[in-house]
């Protein structure tokens, strides 16, 4: 399995970073985790070559805030004449249904409807904690964030958790996974009241969660766009048993 960060920012693009989207590829599946502005990087030749062989694209959404779904409107220019399946969270995991949320973003006069795209698009509501994409098992769980969001686990390989407050470990949902991709909006320590208000995580708490849950590798993301360089590896305190990867958009990482 290979992972390519397409967008690692929260809220809006800045300093060359796009909003949240990650590409996972296996031998027979291409999976997108969130569809922020980073999804547009699929048109870049160095990234395009990783998906050219696939006839279908699977998109798993964590929630419906604009910086995580606006890239869906790029699909007519990215994936023309090929299948797209969107796995979208629904009640009881979040406070909306896919139909209600996506029909507000993708509808006249702002844009064309999904059913009018020049490609086949299926939207599958995520209403149960487990499902499969081919041979890959996907698990989801509800998270604390305004409007709701879901954490996503792909087999025992990757856990993706964004727009959420860092929980106290150990957490069985992430235990045993090879890589935890977790938001780190707050790089410096903040009061828990502020984290609760905005529904975002502090980096030190995320690292504590990863260590307590015996995750070998951590990839922070969903950075505050005001920060020119959110994290420098040289400023991270060493943590025995935990490797922290600072993602670079467009780079390919083996999971």
Beta-sheet pairing, 21-25 with 217-221: unpaired
Above 70 in pLDDT, residue 123? yes
Please state, rounded to an integer, the average pLDDT across all residues of the chain: 95
> Do the beta carbons of residue 43 and residue 18 sit within 8 Å?
no
- Where residue 81 falls among pLDDT bands split at 50, 70, 90? confident
- How far apart CA 29 and CA 8 sit, in angstroms, is 22
> Do the beta carbons of residue 35 and residue 78 sit within 8 Å?
no
> Do the beta carbons of residue 243 and residue 216 sit within 8 Å?
yes
Average pLDDT (33-52) is: 97
- Hey, what CATH class is 2-250 in? alpha beta
Q: What is the pLDDT of residues 211-231, one digit of tens each?
A: 999 998 999 999 999 999 999
Above 70 in pLDDT, residue 173? yes
Above 70 in pLDDT, residue 243? yes
Handedness of CA 143, 173, 4, 230 (dihedral sign): positive
CA dihedral 95, 60, 135, 56 (to 10 degrees): 140
Q: What pLDDT does 238 receive?
A: 74
Main-chain dihedrals φ then ψ at residue 52, nearest 5 degrees? -60, -30
- Where residue 239 falls among pLDDT bands split at 50, 70, 90? confident
- How far apart CA 31 and CA 134 sit, in angstroms, is 11
Residue 66's H or E segment, with its range, is helix 66-69
Above 70 in pLDDT, residue 54? yes
- Scanning the structure block, which residue is given the tokens 């467009």? 250
Q: What is the pLDDT of residues 130-158, one digit of tens each?
A: 999 999 999 999 999 999 999 999 999 99
Q: Does the pTM of the predicted model rise above 0.75? A: yes
DSSP 237: P
Q: What pLDDT does 55 receive?
A: 94
Both tokens of 40, joined, read 């547009």
- Where residue 234 falls among pLDDT bands split at 50, 70, 90? low
Residue 152's H or E segment, with its range, is strand 149-154
DSSP 233: G
Q: What pLDDT does 200 receive?
A: 96
Query: Cis omega (within 30 of 0) on the bond before 92?
Result: yes
């Amino acid at each position: 399995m290979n992972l390519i960060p397409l967008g690692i920012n929260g809220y809006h693009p800045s300093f060359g970073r796009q909003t949240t989207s990650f590409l996972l590829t296996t031998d027979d599946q291409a999976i997108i985790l969130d569809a922020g502005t980073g999804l547009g990087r699929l048109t870049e030749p160095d990234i395009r070559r990783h998906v050219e062989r696939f006839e279908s694209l699977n998109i798993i959404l964590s929630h419906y805030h604009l910086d995580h779904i606006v890239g869906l409107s790029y699909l007519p220019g990215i994936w023309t004449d090929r299948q797209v399946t969107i796995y979208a969270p629904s009640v009881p995991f979040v406070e909306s249904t896919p139909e209600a949320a996506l029909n507000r973003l993708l509808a006249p006069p702002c844009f064309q409807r999904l059913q009018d795209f020049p490609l086949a698009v299926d939207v599958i509501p995520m209403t149960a904690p487990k499902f499969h994409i081919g041979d890959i098992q996907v698990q989801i769980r509800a998270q604390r964030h305004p409007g709701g969001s879901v954490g996503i686990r792909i087999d025992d390989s990757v856990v993706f958790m964004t727009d959420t407050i860092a929980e106290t470990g150990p957490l069985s949902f992430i235990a045993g996974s090879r890589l935890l991709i977790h938001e780190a909006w707050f790089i410096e320590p903040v009061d828990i009241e502020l984290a609760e208000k905005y529904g975002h995580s502090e980096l030190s708490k995320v690292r504590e969660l990863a260590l307590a849950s015996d995750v070998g590798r951590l990839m922070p993301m969903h950075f505050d766009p005001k920060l020119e360089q959110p994290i420098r590896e040289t400023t991270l305190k060493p943590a025995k048993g935990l490797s922290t990867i600072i993602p670079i958009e467009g780079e390919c990482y083996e999971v």
